[in-house]
Amino acid sequence: MSEGTVPGGARGGKGVQTNRAELHDLVFWALVGLIAMAFVVWQWAPAHEFAWEYDEGVDAMKARLVLDGYSLHREVWSEHPPLFTLLLAGAFTLFGQSVFVGRALVLALSGLGLMAIGCTGRHVAGPLAGLLAVLLLAVLPQFQQLSRLILIGLPSISVALMALAAAFTYRSTWKLGWLTLSGMLFSMSPSTCPSAL
């Protein structure tokens, strides 16, 4: 009788530990997602404001000219690889050609970058470090400003952060899908802006 209960008890203990780990994962991702969503909502109104300080028109006009049928790098000058311009053109096609649509695209990528840095911090130094990394980045004034401007640097860094997060997730799970995703994202990042890396 006791021989039968010991394995059952061990299985029960392992099940409790698994459930606790899953609960910790759920709480961590809920908090990270909440911070990222709060950040996007917080920056939504400022993204509508007019700004003189930065020349957002260059990237916006490149995307608009591509939509008008002009060939990027042949008829439209661009010192960067094409990915950001193509993403911007896609956003303009779906949601309309406005500065706010371009800013919303950058803001969405910044939110994903926040989640990625939380994931990376968690893998490197634990859940608390991941949460602190997200919070500290979210309140950084320069990050806030760049997250709502049509500039190419932050989207490239956000994609690289997502690639890094996928690589660390592969290292902890050994699931090939994460490695594949990491490689795809790392190849996309320099296709956005290699100098940002």
Q: Which pLDDT tens digit goes with each residue over 4-59?
A: 444 444 455 566 677 888 888 899 999 999 999 999 999 999 888 887 667 788 99
Q: Residue 76: what are its φ and ψ, rounded to 5°?
A: -115, 120
Q: CB of 56 within 8 A of CB of 75?
A: no
Distance CA 160, CA 186 (A): 6
For residue 160, the enclosing domain spans: 2-196
Q: CB of 169 within 8 A of CB of 120?
A: no
Structure-block tokens of residue 93 = 């096609």
Contacts of 12 (CB under 8 A, 6+ apart): none
Position 155: which residue type?
A: P
Structure-block tokens of residue 85 = 């311009």
How far lies 107's CA from each of 47, 52, 125, in Å?
8, 19, 27
- Mean pLDDT, the chain, as a whole number? 89
Distance CA 17, CA 180 (A): 30
The pLDDT confidence band at residue 197, using thresholds 50, 70 and 90, is: low
Task: Report which of residues 28 and 194 the model is more confident about.
Answer: 28
Distance CA 102, CA 148 (A): 9
Res 70 pLDDT > 90: yes
The pLDDT confidence band at residue 191, using thresholds 50, 70 and 90, is: confident
Distance CA 105, CA 149 (A): 9
Q: Which pLDDT tens digit goes with each residue over 81-124?
A: 899 999 999 999 999 999 999 999 999 999 999 999 999 999 99
Q: Domains in the chain: how many in total?
A: 1
Contacts of 63 (CB under 8 A, 6+ apart): 85, 86, 88, 89, 91, 92, 102
Q: Which pLDDT tens digit goes with each residue over 125-160?
A: 999 999 999 999 999 999 999 999 999 999 999 999
Degrees to nearest 5, angle at CA 164 with 161 and 165: 85
